[in-house]
Structure 1
């Protein structure tokens, strides 16, 4: 893979002298400032207080245009910086800052630069270097101070009517709280699998737009010697009557062990179904998520699963778990443009974790989210967001997920230079 990256890099650099105008004129540059406070206070643990950090992050993105010609070439640069504002070693790291696993000391500052070489033919792009895949089998998490990124090659095409294709070969990951490029590994939360690493991850898939309101997708991935996974998605918006729409979102994953099965046996089918009723500024969503098979749903370490049912202090992906959720969103655009509110209640039952207390365990979460983006004026685009969650379970105290009250506050602003 390194040889391919070098070839693409050379292809990007050689034509620049003669076609620099095209390369620069189509380029964009931006700098995002993110101030993030996260406090996860454990409510039922005698030895750990929780996880807590306050940090400032900066995300710089330069995306070049493409040179003229049948095959255009370009170059993207991403700079990531984190600055510690407050962190107490009595608390666990929250995923905002690089943390010493033994002393719990956080790095005062940390920075990284990612470079992506890219080629484009018509509406097809090939990228090598730092890549940001985003699909049901792999995507870079953006839920902390800095985004998770990957090292590898990605292919994306929109050259066919109503069809988008994607594929990739990933060798390393840079986690949200790290500047090191590491081997890929699996999530082993709650002792659901053995911790294992893989030297590459392959994926392929696509989505088809049957109509403006109906879309399906099909994907397949292999984390070498850990697991292989297929995913199917279906989304449709139906008008029930004036201003009342039904949003149907169904996603299905099937996973099993691969190769040497370094993480142990994997046998899971995960089904999620969401029905959203949208009326003017109101949206009410009823959701369920069902885990079938003998194990939990596997996914890559440091990331998340692309599901509508989400948990800030948990993932609701334990063996045999049956999850139900109700969510309400309101957009204050008629009264305070830019202000949005969300609340949801999620409960999971029938959890099979004998080593953590039983075969019929449960967990639940009540969450609130208030988000405001200034729509006009001198500070247009400044975003302020506050989130509060209450999470509980009846697992034993050595479980990864612990009952907690969680507060997240972040302030974001992006300067666009071009």
Structure 2
């Protein structure tokens, strides 16, 4: 048995070294594989609140982003660097058009007005061994079911900490890491990690999980995440694409989240309460939720029709990282809020993450549908458009037992990217959304977003 074990170990080592040799051969080196790009984003954002107590918002801004991604040094362990520099200029939206708090579009000055301009930068070092990569630093942009960095405003949200991704086994991608701070999409400073409504934060968000491609058409997922002193979360996912013939398919996408309280969140500790997205909670301030979401997409040529259904359990709302107003070290806020930093929110991995609303309060059952079309099929490459509708019912009232509410949203969008000439790659995005609620405590809102994007690649 010892000889067999030794032989197996030698064989595994030989396979690993062979894979490393292949990767080294493919690597051109630190500079040769480097990429440098300058991106420009011009953004107009309008949010019309149909509520006398809620502020309207109308702003525009220009953001320049310089991204550098090095290659890896040659050798058994490759080393590289990623860095990002951002400069932002506020173009319009003076007094009365820039909400001082809860602003997800642009950083606020000490007097509550929009800052005129700003600059921020982050970087991280990366290591590669065979098909495993480790990234450590402040330029991390996770796109995982249990944490999705948002890039839906002027600036991208980023995290600092460490992330490791391994593809050593065919068809299996494993991921793990620890994140400690976040810099929001409307922020210049990093904050501790937290949940909606909390005034304290945590410097420890740990996760692990993986994606396994069972067949070329079927992928299954499992992830576990723990935001220390706030919540634990399990995620299960399944994606299947069924080919139906020439340029035709049917896609099934299923997502399941199970979240529970952790540490101080479940012991009524001051500052650690979750507001359950402004809705009902069986135990006030505590994380206690099961959410499942399903989407089915039929694609024929340039047309896609999707329908879906999502259910949020009765005991509390869906939870995800949402920093709100917390300090970098997670300490309590000062009474005047002078040590706070509005992180500007972030994304989450549900189909109801719409233009305006979220549809994630306790008891909410949401049906939704969307139609999109790719105009490449009729001779206009780069042009696409969509319309969608979401309807959420059975939202539990925050205080009145047995009372339920509803909400609906209607969105539309158009995207166009120039395909040739001097402006090749210049993109235009238009989004409109209307959210109407019934007794949920959220103001009816109409949003318009007009975005111009262009990226020039130096390397």
Same fold (TM over 0.5): yes
- Counterpart-to-counterpart distance in 2, 1:314 and 1:103: 28
Aligned to 1:259: 263
Aligned to 1:364: 408
Offset of residue 52 of structure 1 = 2.3
Equivalent residue runs for 1:319-330 within 5 Å: 319-330=362-373
- Counterpart among 79, 94, 98 of residue 85 in structure 2: 79
Aligned to 1:390: 434
CA distance 1:245–1:75, change in 2 (3 Å) = same
CA contact (8 A) 2:49 2:444 kept: yes
- Counterpart among 116, 121, 126 of residue 124 in structure 2: 116
1:287 aligned onto 2:308: yes
Aligned to 2:68: 62
For the residue of structure 2 that corresponds to 1:260, the secondary structure is helix
Deviations 1:267-313 (A, max 9, x none): 11110000000000000000111001400011111212112332222
- Counterpart-to-counterpart distance in 2, 1:25 and 1:149: 26
1:243 aligned onto 2:250: no
Aligned to 1:34: 41
For the residue of structure 1 that corresponds to 2:29, the secondary structure is helix
- Counterpart-to-counterpart distance in 1, 2:55 and 2:308: 32
- Counterpart-to-counterpart distance in 1, 2:419 and 2:401: 49
The runs of 5 or more residues in structure 1 that have no matched partner are: 1-20, 189-193
May I ask how many residue pairs the two structures share in their alignment?
389
- Counterpart-to-counterpart distance in 2, 1:123 and 1:111: 35
CA contact (8 A) 1:196 1:226 kept: no
- Counterpart among 203, 208, 227 of residue 204 in structure 1: 208
Equivalent residue runs for 1:303-342 within 5 Å: 303-333=346-376, 334-342=378-386
- Counterpart among 322, 334, 349 of residue 393 in structure 2: 349
- Counterpart among 96, 102, 116 of residue 90 in structure 1: 96
Q: Name whichever of 81-90 and 321-330 sits farther off.
A: 81-90
Aligned to 1:268: 289
CA distance 1:357–1:88, change in 2 (3 Å) = farther
- Taking structure 2 as the reference length, the TM-score comes to 0.82
CA contact (8 A) 2:44 2:61 kept: yes
CA contact (8 A) 1:291 1:319 kept: yes
- Taking structure 1 as the reference length, the TM-score comes to 0.90
For the residue of structure 1 that corresponds to 2:30, the secondary structure is helix
1:158 aligned onto 2:199: no
Offset of residue 53 of structure 1 = 1.6
1:126 aligned onto 2:134: yes
- Counterpart-to-counterpart distance in 1, 2:397 and 2:125: 45
CA RMSD of aligned residues (A): 1.8
- Counterpart-to-counterpart distance in 2, 1:97 and 1:381: 26
Aligned to 1:413: 454
CA contact (8 A) 2:355 2:432 kept: no
Equivalent residue runs for 1:140-179 within 5 Å: 140-179=149-188
CA contact (8 A) 2:132 2:164 kept: yes
The runs of 5 or more residues in structure 2 that have no matched partner are: 1-27, 266-271, 274-284, 323-344
- Counterpart-to-counterpart distance in 1, 2:297 and 2:387: 14
Aligned to 1:99: 108
- Counterpart among 218, 227, 231 of residue 227 in structure 1: 231
- Counterpart-to-counterpart distance in 2, 1:50 and 1:319: 27
Whose strand proportion is higher, 1 or 2? 1
- Counterpart-to-counterpart distance in 1, 2:68 and 2:245: 44
Larger Rg: 2
For the residue of structure 2 that corresponds to 1:354, the secondary structure is coil
CA contact (8 A) 1:320 1:352 kept: yes
- Counterpart-to-counterpart distance in 2, 1:417 and 1:370: 29
